[in-house]
Amino acid sequence: MTHYDVVIVGGAMAGATLALALEKMNQETLSIAVIEALEPNLDQHPGYDSRSIALSNGTAQLLQDIGLWSEIESFSTAIHHIHVSDQYHMGLTELTSKELNVDGLGYVVELADVGRFYHQKLANSKNIALLCPASVVNIEREIAVSTLTLSTGEVISTSLVIAADGAESKTCKSMNIESQNDDFQQVAIIANITTDIHPQGKAFERFTEHGPLALLPMSKGRSSLVWCVSPEESQQILAYDDATFLEHLQRAFGWRLGQLIKTGKRAHYPLWLRRQKQHVSHRFAAIGNAAQTLHPIAGQGFNLGIRDVFSLAECISQANQLGRDVGEYAVLSTYQKRRQPDQQQTIGMTAGLISIFANNAFPMIIGRNVSLCAVDTFRAFLKPLTLRAMGRVNR
């Protein structure tokens, strides 16, 4: 039976980043395995319908610290300008990278590109065992070690199991970790859109009668759409043909990018706030969406998860350098206590934005438009929110 100091279940961006951060911080003194069920398509890009994710300025800095950002930046699209508005009302505000003296407020990457990049990094690493395709069938925890049985029939042991397997983490469930789930009663509609006017690094967050709508700049003049609507409205919107969908979206978004001329395939998923009641247990920790999944408003969820990744990597590395057992509860408890303030504040900020901007009660409409105008006039009001949105927070 092969033993690893750390086994990470899930090899997407959170799990892969953790593995590579641990490798960088520990200089070959830590044995690491990553278990991933799906192999990326290394030969063919899904093209127009590739899904995207926005990395904050702070996430880019963390990735730079472990030597990954220069390569990821080569296939990213920088956000230089953010425009926030409220449909049918006067309130709006704008933010630019020039105003904040940064290269980018954030960066949009296509998941197909990221998946191939990380898979190749893990496969080429001498110190990380990539077990792919494979999934975990069973986990048995004992006092000093955990034993994992894989779908391939292989049995491995580890000092620490880390769940990085997404929003409905099977690993957390197998550890009997309870979750708290709050239904937002919204559905996110996802698509890539081509507009008559090139976005040129400009992102939009627009609050419509149906829900918040974001368009993020992508390569080749495309924009990535995330539109949050009610479940009933989502069924109607998904049933439209492309022309009707674009017409409907045009009415909601407006004409700041000219005519909307093409859409890719539409995807959709229900929106929940999912939080594990505890992020650590005996020889176990959860990171990223396996720890908490947020509403996509303001693009905070994934970047919060990356801050989890780096904080856990630092706690493990400090223990390893001191010759301690990296899976002992004292190490994991330090990680959990360290992360709670950022997690609570980011979840609170996201929930607050939803209550303000997804509410069409007349007093709330007046309040948010006054707030947007005030922020646009008195820029100092914007700084605390901007720093958190950019991922420039204590962790």
In a domain, 361, yes or no: no
**What is the domain count for the chain?**
1
Q: Which of 65-69, 90-94, 134-138, 326-330 has the lowest mean pLDDT?
A: 90-94
Q: How confident is the model at residue 114 (pLDDT cuts 50, 70, 90)?
A: very high
Give the model's pLDDT for residue 60.
96
Q: Does residue 12 surpass a pLDDT of 80?
A: yes
**Is pLDDT larger for residue 136 or for residue 386?**
136
The answer to whether 148 touches 155, Cβ cutoff 8 Å, is yes
CATH number of the domain that 148 lies in? 3.50.50.60
Q: In this structure, what token pair is assigned to residue 74?
A: 């080569």
Sequential DSSP letters for 124-168 = H-SSEEEE-S--EEEEEE-SS-EEEEETTS-EEEEEEEEE-S-TT
Q: What is the mean pLDDT of the chain?
A: 89
Q: In this structure, what token pair is assigned to residue 159?
A: 């000092």
In a domain, 11, yes or no: yes
In a domain, 159, yes or no: yes
In a domain, 217, yes or no: no
Note if the pTM is more than 0.95. Answer: no
Give the model's pLDDT for residue 362.
46
Can you tell me the mean pLDDT for 266-294?
Answer: 95
Give the model's pLDDT for residue 85.
83
For the beta carbon of residue 178, count every other beta carbon within 10 angstroms.
10
Give the model's pLDDT for residue 351.
74
Residue 335's domain comprises 2-51+111-180+272-354
Q: How confident is the model at residue 95 (pLDDT cuts 50, 70, 90)?
A: confident
Give the model's pLDDT for residue 258.
97
Give the model's pLDDT for residue 385.
63
Question: Residue 70 and residue 75: Cα distance in Å, rounded?
Answer: 10
In a domain, 19, yes or no: yes
- Cα–Cα distance list, 299 to 84, 164, 346 (Å): 13, 19, 11
Give the model's pLDDT for residue 368.
43
Q: How confident is the model at residue 50 (pLDDT cuts 50, 70, 90)?
A: confident
In a domain, 204, yes or no: no
Can you tell me the mean pLDDT for 153-169?
Answer: 96
